[in-house]
Structure 1
Amino acid sequence: MQIDTSQFPLVWTRFNAPGTDPDASPFAEFEALLARKTVFVLLNDEGLDKGDHEHSPDEMKQTSRWMKRHKSELKAFVKAAIYIEPNIAKRMATKAFSSVYEKFWGYPMLMVATKDEALALAQKFLSDET
């Protein structure tokens, strides 16, 4: 996974792109984001068909353990994950999953149709921060 922080606090994620260091833990870059102790929004413009990597049981356990160790930081600093999906049927199909996602990760998962909508929504989340 690639994490692009060049527009921080807008953080673009790409699941189908390699990280900057292929030998590093997949969570290392994310931990560096959390270490900033500043709010941010995750954005992804790959659409829902692009990141359907099937996770092994071991990957799922690692992710769950990592999330539990960082739950309070995730809730404090990640305001939302916003996914851009132009297909309305695919956006609607994720509505039920979004509540499960939020319970697991501690921040909302939102679906929008366009990059402009994503950026406007991200700015709303960031400006609501006091």
Structure 2
Amino acid sequence: MRINTEQFPLVWISSEPSDNWEDELNQLLQQDQRFVLITREIPTQDSGDGNSNKSRLSDWLKKNKEAMQQVCAGSVIIVNNQLIAMAIGFALAPLSKTFGYPMQAITEDNLDATIETLLNS
């Protein structure tokens, strides 16, 4: 997983292999500033950089759940159309409860308004 913070508070995530994603996420937590995780990739069972890294991410998220709830304003998946957004939205609802921050699938034209809403809530 690759983390791109160049547009902070927008934090872009991709499935490109990277060895330092844990360090990047730890740095985000230490900044103590709210941010939004954004991706254009729809997670699938065979996506990502292997089961080992998926397990590492899962472990990291469990370990840092409370800290993430404090600084992560939400997570957004950008999709091509509203029907896909609605379908994915149903799967994301329980994950929002699990992680403690909103997770949404949206179309590109709703990105700015969604980001603003998440950061101001």
Query: Do they superpose with TM above 0.5?
Result: yes
Q: Which has the larger radius of gyration?
A: 1
How far does residue 71 in structure 1 lie from its aligned partner after superposition? 0.9
Structure 1 or 2: larger helix share? Answer: 2
Find the residue that maps to 2:17 and give its secondary structure.
coil
Q: What is the root-mean-square deviation in Å for CA atoms of aligned residues?
A: 2.5
Q: How many angstroms does 1:79 deviate by?
A: 0.6
Cα deviation code 1:15-59 (max 9, x no counterpart): 2x233xx3x3x3221111111111111111x24278951652x54
The answer for the alignment partner of 2:30 in structure 1 is: 35
Matched residue, 1:125: 118
Gaps in structure 2 of 5+ consecutive residues = none
Measured after TM superposition, the shift of residue 119 of structure 1 is 2.1
Work out the CA distance in 1 between the residues paired with 2:55 and 2:100: 17
Is 1:80 aligned to 2:74, yes or no? yes
- Tell me the TM-score normalized by structure 2: 0.81
Aligned length: 120
Whether the 8 Å contact between 2:77 and 2:106 is mirrored in structure 1 is yes
What letter matches 2:67 in structure 1? E
Distance 1:18 1:59, change over 3 A: closer
TM-superposed deviation, 1:125: 1.7
Aligned partners of 1:43 and 1:118 also within 8 Å: no
Unaligned runs of 5+ in 1: none
- SS of 2:76's equivalent? strand
Identity %: 28
Question: 2:2 touches 2:13 (CA, 8 Å); kept in 1?
Answer: yes
User: What secondary structure is seen at the aligned counterpart in 2 of 1:27?
Assistant: helix
1:105, 1:27 → 2: CA distance?
Answer: 17
